[in-house]
Amino acid sequence: MIRYLILNMFAGLVLFMTGCGSLVQDVPDAKVPQESEKPVVISFISPQDSLLAVSVQLTRTVLGTYQSGTIVSNAVVTIADGNRFIALPYVQGSNGIYAAPARNFPLQAGKTYTLSVKMPSRQELSSSATIPENTPIQSVVIDSAVAVYNGSQPVYRYTAQLKWKDVAGQADYYRIRGDQVITRVVTGPNTQTQTASYVTAVLFDNRPNRYLITDLNQDGQLLTSAKGLYVRFAENTTGQPVGPANTVNLYLLHTDKLYYDYHNALKNYSESDGNPFAEPVLLPNNIQGGGLGCFAAFNQSVVRFTPK
């Protein structure tokens, strides 16, 4: 009886594998959609930025040999507000970046700006974005704890939450982010000490209050962000300070809807983590004229402080 069951299981497995093999079919090239290259334009503008920057590249086709010529270096890129405009020259050696100092074309809240891109093929692309009003941060709630890393070196772990008053009577979209500048004393050549600085991100949890927030069902109320985590190194194993205290920067971005939708789609894509059963994520597109990409705006407020 056992032998009979084993033989039946083996036969069933063979039939299953044979059936799966029939699902694999070669698709002729003629049946694959023949899409040509399309321009991809990405830009986010803000009154607080020191640089106006636009990325212009080309998509990769489904068929054919991959080439490195996806970067566009000879387009004509301008940003205008109706009465004035600025041309953004190509940044040599960059990956399709066109940029100009923001001081040459100051941006203002409430104004609508138009991005125009004329491709070398004479294809003309355009988009527009309106900069939201600035929303100030009202308070920062900080909590701390002490942990031990790298032997006996103490490390202070902090969390921070931002609070702000939502603008009443309209749909609003926000993004929270932060960074910290860490300066440490290290031993260099010839046992001489020197300082080294680097910037790390303040990590905001996606749940329960994501770092991307809307005022849906809480219009005009006091909003609270997720908790952001950062650290401060106090001293090394010999009890000597490892460097000045960190500078922490926390940012509240009041964004337009497209900025929110675009980054929310990127978040959903990253959270799928290669799951083959995850739903496809479509990136929003507001580039007119046959292109792809996103031209969006935000207004930023910041709080800077030194953890104690």
Q: Which pTM does this prediction carry? A: 0.79
Residues contacting 42, CB < 8 A, separation 6+? 54, 55, 293, 294, 295
Same domain, 268 and 251: no
CA distances from 213 to 25, 37, 155, 177, 272 (A): 45, 35, 30, 12, 20
217 assigned to some structural domain = yes
Same domain, 250 and 279: no
pLDDT at 174: 96
Number of domains in the chain: 2
Q: Is the dihedral angle over the CA atoms 137, 141, 147, 153 positive or is it negative?
A: positive
Same domain, 148 and 209: yes
Same domain, 149 and 209: yes
Same domain, 91 and 177: no
Same domain, 87 and 168: no
Helix (H) or strand (E) holding 252: strand 247-255
Helix (H) or strand (E) holding 194: strand 193-201
Residue 152 belongs to domain spanning: 139-255
23 assigned to some structural domain = no
145 assigned to some structural domain = yes
pLDDT at 68: 46
Same domain, 247 and 155: yes
Same domain, 52 and 92: yes
Residue 283 φ then ψ, to 5° = -80, 135
305 assigned to some structural domain = no
- Per the CB < 8 A criterion, the answer to whether 269 and 261 are in contact is no
What is the CA angle 197-201-202, rounded to 5?
A: 120
Low pLDDT (below 50) residues in the chain: 1-7, 9-10, 13-17, 65-66, 68, 208-209, 237, 239
Residue closest to 115 by CA, chosen among 300, 297, 266, 298: 297
249 assigned to some structural domain = yes
Same domain, 242 and 270: no
